[in-house]
Amino acid sequence: MNDSYTKRQIREITGRYGLIPVRSEPVSSLYRRNAVFKVHTQSGTYAVKPFLRQPSLGSSAVHQIGTTAKYVKLLADSGFSHMPKWLTTRSGKLWTLSHGRPFYMTTWISGRGMEKPEDFEQLGRALATLHLTPGLGLRTKGSPTLEQIRLWQVKDQLFRKRMAQALQPGGRNRRWLKKYGKTCTRLSDRAWAILKSPELVGLLKREWSRPALIHNDITSPNVIISGENQLFIIDWDHIKVGSAYVDIAKALMNTTQFNPDFILALLKGYEEVNPLERAQRKLIYCLYGLPREAWQAIRSPKGKRSQEMLRILEQTWPLRLDAMKLLADWSNQ
């Protein structure tokens, strides 16, 4: 869908929430133009955000925003304090439809990024609180972690096929794959082997009875420390009932920059709220070690973003291996 929006459209959306904009300005994210609109009103500053449909779910954007709003309300009712306040329209809904696309409106959060271990401890506590949110009606048909693992195993298989093709003379990314490809497959093989251990098989079988709400997109740009030193997580488009272990592993990979102090601080904060058993620690370590960025980059080898991912992978490879060793030691404590 076109990401161009007129000021009139943003003004109309803001009006549905009972507010009159003084001015508005588009704000782009790393990968998306006009990702959100910063709207200034006489009563404060707010964010108007176009809701991003997930094509992989197969359902409509309206259905998805309805589910998202249900989970956001559940969080708000439980007193979760690490999410911007979602505004309610004049008709009592947490979202509105404009030109066929859902939008939602929240308070605007200003602040800084995470810079010190204490910030990562806050993030760990916030994630644990999110994962422990009580909610009637949260159900899964099976283990959400096992479901995600099966999807990743398919991506791993595709990576191996593409790697075999790319290693032929003239293949795209041949140099990178000759240097790192076998290590990627060894990391995957190690994770798949550990996941077959009886303690992890038993853990995954029990997971369906402990559903968790997850943010599903914890990245550095989505975490803000306010002027009052309060941590806020923004961009809740992908919230769902899913795997807390996947959520933690992704958060570690996407926020800590492989810094040992940041990694341990996030895990310390998490376990202050939700202590982890040895099997749970081992599962997080396994999921963290999977070379997901390499799978994604090789999937579209000609894309500019893929080339950037491979460049970052090469630059950070030693740090990644050190971080995996740190998590391996942590999982055995």
CATH architecture of residue range(s) 7-108: 2-Layer Sandwich (3.30)
Q: How many CA atoms lie within 13 A of 27 on its CB side?
A: 11
Tell me how far apart the alpha carbons of residues 274 and 277 are, in angstroms, rounded to a whole number.
10
Q: Tens digit of pLDDT for each residue in 276-329? A: 999 999 999 999 999 999 999 998 877 788 889 999 999 999 999 999 999 999
Fold classified for 117-331? Aminoglycoside 3'-phosphotransferase; Chain: A, domain 2 (3.90.1200)
Is there a common fold for 7-108 and 117-331?
no
pLDDT for 210 equals 79
**Helices within the chain (DSSP H only):** 7-16, 61-78, 117-131, 144-166, 174-194, 198-206, 244-255, 260-273, 278-289, 292-299, 304-331
Tell me how far apart the alpha carbons of residues 20 and 64 are, in angstroms, rounded to a whole number.
28
**Helices within 79-226 (DSSP H only):** 117-131, 144-166, 174-194, 198-206
pLDDT for 137 equals 67
Residues in the chain predicted with pLDDT less than 70, given as ranges, are: 1-4, 136-139
> Which residues are within 8 A (CB) of 197 and not within 5 positions of it... i.e. 6 or more apart?
282
Q: Where are the domains of the chain?
A: 7-108, 117-331
Torsion 245-74-124-293 (CA) sign:
positive
